[in-house]
Amino acid sequence: MLLCSAATGAAPPPRIVTLAPHLAEIVHAAGAGSALVGVSEYSDHPAAVRSLPRVGDGWQVDYERVLALRPDLVLAWESGTPTATVERLRSLGLEVVVVPTHRLDDVATALRRIGDLAGTRPAAEAAARRYEAKIAAARERHAGSRPVTVFVEIDDRPLFTVGGRHVISEAVELCGGRNVYADLDQAAPQVDLESVLAHDPEAILSTDDTVADPRAEWQRWTRLTAVRAGTIYSVPSDTVTRATPRLVDGVEAICAALDDARVRLERVRPAGEPAQRR
Quote the distance between the C-alpha of residue 38 and its chain's center.
21
Residues listed for the chain: 278
Please name every residue paired with 153 in a beta bridge, in sequence order, or none if there are none.
206
Fold matches, 16-136 and 144-268: yes
CA distances from 31 to 86, 108, 175 (A): 25, 13, 30
Question: Could you tell me which of 210, 237, 195 has the C-alpha nearest to residue 155?
Answer: 210
Class of domain 144-268: alpha beta
Cβ atoms 49, 36 nearer than 8 A: yes
Residue 74 parent element (H or E):
strand 73-77
93, 97, 98, 99 alpha-carbon torsion, rounded to 10°: -160
CATH architecture group of domain 16-136: 3-Layer(aba) Sandwich (3.40)
Residue 237 carries which DSSP code?
Answer: H
pLDDT digit of tens for each residue in the chain (278 aa)? 343 433 445 667 899 999 999 999 999 999 999 999 999 999 999 999 999 999 998 789 999 999 999 999 999 998 889 999 999 999 999 999 999 988 999 999 999 999 999 999 999 999 999 999 999 999 999 999 999 999 999 998 899 999 999 999 999 999 999 999 999 989 899 999 999 999 999 999 999 888 888 999 999 999 999 999 999 999 999 899 899 999 999 999 999 999 999 999 998 876 545 554 44
Radius of gyration of the chain measured on its C-alpha atoms: 21
How many beta carbons lie within 10 A of that of residue 256, not counting itself? 13
> pTM, whole model, 2 decimals?
0.88
Q: Please state, in angstroms and rounded to a whole number, the distance separating the CA atoms of residues 194 and 189.
A: 15
Residue extents of the structural domains in the chain: 16-136, 144-268
| 150 within 8 A of 199, measured Cβ to Cβ | no
